[in-house]
Amino acid sequence: MEQSPIDIIPANSQSADDTMKMQLYLTDHALTGLKVEDLGNTLQVNGSFSKLVATDVDGHTYEFEAIQFHFHAPAEHTINGKHYDLELHIVHQMTPESAKNAKTHRNLAVVGVFFELDSEHLSTPHPFIEGLKLHNVGTDISLNMNDLLSDDLTDGMTFHAYKGSLTTPPCSENANWYVLEKPLKITKNQMDNFNLRWKDNFNYANGHGNNRPVQPLNGRTVLKSTNCCVMGRSEECLMKMSLKQQQEEEKAEEVKTPSKTQKRALEEIEFMRDIIFDDLSLVGHHAISNSHEFIESNHQNKIKFAI
């Protein structure tokens, strides 16, 4: 009842509120020792090369780490019934920290990215696809996930979210899907690396490609949002460092600044001192001296009162 892929009709997707988000952090330095594996039914790369912070359809936000990405040609999801030429699936698994208090059994989150053949042949080879060395599958590759970014894949890009499944057996219904609506451009030579294996290969699924047909929606909710943020993981680290520094500065400021209780205690002491100043007796002068020394000493000790 909750199978993937589906036909996404943007006009029918419900607009999400501001709490819905999809933050994708791509590793922006060269990852070495990776290989593209030809599994027969797809090309796959295993590795922890991205992090995802995303809100599900039920309104809960979780953190996920990438475990692999793979391809389908033609694309599995459709937009208004249209198949794009290629679809990249970045499969993420929920982090142990998020899993501790998770209110869902869906421990996977998949980001779907479309690629479209550049019919006018104006684009240069896509750097992310080029870095996979698909002309020589199985060789070691050095991959920078940040190469997936382009002028078309930026903040504010529309995505569609829904509850779904894996698209290969056992087709388990344990995935949240986040499908970016706008496709990236790919050249014909790059596309041939996929089509010659599946779509143009009649020995594989009679030349129908390695995509699973779209599945019935069965009344599921599909949310649409532009609260999409794609950035490098170094930026995420800088943001965390900045937040930590801010918290430390705020904590230090709290030590310097008297609390309400401390301020009230200071006012009471000063009020007592003013009363004592009106007492001109020897006892009064002695009390004034002691009170003054007490106040000054506590100022020097960051106003830690013993009252």
Query: What values do phi and psi take at 265, rounded to 5?
Result: -65, -40
User: At residue 30, does pLDDT exceed 50?
Assistant: yes
Quick one: 265 and 171 in the same domain? no
Quick one: 165 and 267 in the same domain? no
User: How much is the pLDDT for 236?
Assistant: 55
The range of the structural domain enclosing residue 281 comes to 251-300
Quick one: 225 and 260 in the same domain? no
Quick one: 27 and 69 in the same domain? yes
Contact 150, 128 (CB under 8 A): no
Please check whether residue 175 lies inside any domain of the structure. Answer: yes
How many other C-beta atoms can be found within 10 angstroms of the C-beta atom of residue 61? 14
Quick one: 130 and 41 in the same domain? yes
Please check whether residue 306 lies inside any domain of the structure. Answer: no
CA distances from 163 to 1, 36, 65, 105 (A): 10, 28, 18, 11
Give the rounded percent of residues in the chain with a pLDDT score beyond 70.
Answer: 74
Quick one: 179 and 77 in the same domain? yes
Please check whether residue 110 lies inside any domain of the structure. Answer: yes
Residue 208: CATH number of its domain = 3.10.200.10
Please check whether residue 84 lies inside any domain of the structure. Answer: yes
Q: Residue 149 — pLDDT band, cuts 50, 70, 90?
A: confident
User: At residue 281, does pLDDT exceed 50?
Assistant: no
How confident is the prediction for the chain on average, in pLDDT?
83
Quick one: 277 and 156 in the same domain? no
Quick one: 229 and 164 in the same domain? yes
Amino acid type, 26: L
Quick one: 40 and 74 in the same domain? yes
Report the alpha-carbon distance of residue 181 to residue 238 in Å, rounded.
29
Range of weakest confidence among 49-53, 66-70, 247-251 = 247-251
Please check whether residue 244 lies inside any domain of the structure. Answer: no
Tally the domains of the chain.
2
Please check whether residue 134 lies inside any domain of the structure. Answer: yes
Decide which of 211, 235, 259 is a domain's last residue. 235
The residue behind tokens 């990405």 is: 69
Report the alpha-carbon distance of residue 142 to residue 134 in Å, rounded.
13
Give the rounded percent of residues in the chain with a pLDDT score beyond 90.
Answer: 64
Q: Residue 142 — pLDDT band, cuts 50, 70, 90?
A: very high
Angle between the N-to-C axes of helices 282-300 and 260-277, in degrees from 0 to 180, rounded to the nearest 10: 160
User: At residue 275, does pLDDT exceed 60?
Assistant: no
Q: In this predicted model, which residue has the larger pLDDT, 54 or 246?
A: 54
* Closest to 98 (Cα-Cα) out of 113, 84, 112, 108: 108
Mean pLDDT of 263-270: 60
Please check whether residue 305 lies inside any domain of the structure. Answer: no
> Against a cut of 0.85, is the pTM above it?
no
User: How much is the pLDDT for 157?
Assistant: 87
User: How much is the pLDDT for 156?
Assistant: 74
Please check whether residue 25 lies inside any domain of the structure. Answer: yes
Amino acid type, 300: Q
Quick one: 164 and 231 in the same domain? yes
The residue behind tokens 């996404």 is: 8
Quick one: 271 and 230 in the same domain? no
Quick one: 126 and 271 in the same domain? no
The separation between the first and the last C-alpha atoms of the chain, rounded to the nearest angstrom, is: 67
Report the alpha-carbon distance of residue 65 to residue 287 in Å, rounded.
67
